[in-house]
Each structure stands twice: as C-alpha cells, then as structure tokens.
Structure 1
C-alpha cells in the first residue's frame, strides 16, 4: 500500500511542482478523454489533493493554466511565410490539438477566463498583421475562422467512421482566404485615385 504525503509539500521535495502537475494533467487528459479531477490528479501524483492546492489556489486556476499550456502547443507563426500558409498551419495545429485532448474544446468554451483563447488570438493577429486590415474586419475574420474550426472539431469528434481528417479543412480554408483576399483587393481598388 502506498501512503500519500498529506498537506503542503516538503520544501526539499523536487518531485511536485506546477509544471509536474500540468504535465500529469495533460497525460490524464489523453488517457481519460477529459479534464482530470483534482482527486484523480492527486492519485496519479501520489499526493494528497491539498498538495495541489498549494500550487493552485483553486480548480479554476489549475484549469486556466492547464488549458493555456495546451493551447500554447499550437503553431507559432514564423513571420517569413505567406499569411495563407501561416494561417493554414495555425488552423490545422489547433484542430490536431483539439482532437488530441478530447474535452478541451468544451472546457475552453465554458471557461470564464480568456487566457487560453488569447494564445490563439495573438498568433492569429501576428499572421494577419501583414494585411493591415481594419480591427473590425480582422475580428470578423477571427470569429469566422474560430467558429468554423470549433464546428469542424465537433464534427471530427462525432465522426464514427474515422474518415474526417484535419486535411478536410483545406477547401473551407481556401474559401475563407478567398474572402479575405477579395476584401483586400476591394480595399486597394477603393484607395486607387
């Protein structure tokens, strides 16, 4: 029988840290298909649940740091590629991430914190900055893309045939890109004397 250490972790203990807790939670998400409970996380770490609360003041803080860490795994723009290439890479990496961690999308959509979403938004803005779009058009493009990606992710999770893959977003992304390019061309035509 394994005895769990109760209460606050020992100062000399190097085994438990925020990083170890987050990485363990990620592993449990992959194996369990959902955000792990504090109880299952503490059992996996072989510590008392209160030891986790030493590092995170509450479950919401843990959830925010976990989801932000997960979203940070998506594509980081390189700035030297065409915006369409960058946005396609960002979109596909997001879909792959949502597929890898079942339950992540539902968690993101139900969270009060915007920190995890801001990771995607900031990377989107780095890519779109090259286009000098108005803030309202950039936000409209972001909303359109995010809604499409979330819908596609839900479709993938419901696909019992396994035929739906991340590459199936290519044609839809082409349509979104065509719309953005048409907006840019129209704006340039209106600025020409």
Structure 2
C-alpha cells in the first residue's frame, strides 16, 4: 500500500508544481525538488534522518538546473540570489545546530542550504516566508504531538517534512504574504 501512496503523492506534487511554475525554464529545477521531497519526508518520518545520498547531490543538481533556468530567462540576479539564499539558510540552521545542540539534526542543516537555493531563486520573499513557515509548521506539529500523543517537550521529531512543507507553501503564498507584511510596515511599493 505504501508504494502506490508514494507514487500518488509524488504525482500530485508534480502536478501542483507544474501548475504553479508553468512551462518555464525553472520547471525542471522545481520538479527535481518535488521529486526528492517525498522520499526525504518519508525517510525522515520513518528513521529521523535525511540521507546524504539524496541531499548532497541535490546541491549540484539544483545549481545546474537553476543556472539553466537563469540562462533561459536571462535573470542572472535570480541565480546570485539563490547562491546567497542557500548560504544564508544553511548558515542560519548551522548556527541553531551549534547554539542548541540536539535541537536540530545535521541533515536539517544540509537540507536548509538546498531549500535556500530554491526559495531565494524564486525571490527574497519566498526565502523569508519559507524559512519562517518551516518553524511555524514544525511548532504546530510539535504542539499537536504533545497534546494528542505521549510526546513531551524533549521528544525528538523529524523536522525535514516541516521544512519541505514550508518551502512548497512559500512558493505559493510568499508574494501575497510579503506584500501584506510590507503594507503593515508602510514599506509597500
């Protein structure tokens, strides 16, 4: 039963990404992200780790596919933004990993860099919203586990699925959320 569900989830994610991104130069890059998201989430849920065999090659694949997308669109600023975003999100997670030992796994840190590439290529608002949503979704899941299961405050939970969900949700809502926030601050354009 598991295999058909994995295939269905992947197909639905592919369809959603195709509808969101459209037939653009960026589509292969975001389909690749969707392709690794389902196995990463399931593996993290099952064994609480994000395998290097999937995460580490994703840096090279993302860089190649996002470079092709930037070349195809002529938007080299998006590629530079992706590089800065990938390093920034990786650095933020690495800092959390060092400051709060045991609060986050090294796999989460590695995945953060990959997600930072994709989110920042999409836009700065996607990077900010995606980074925030990962912690919001993770926190909501943790509260639910504490309230409705035997989990406690110190229980370990896989964070990769929340990171991935936050990233995909950010691709959808980043622009309106960013506009809303800038409107609140009086900085809207």
Tell me, yes or no, whether TM beats 0.5: no
TM-score of the aligned structures, taking structure 2 as reference length: 0.31
- Greater fraction of residues in helix: 2
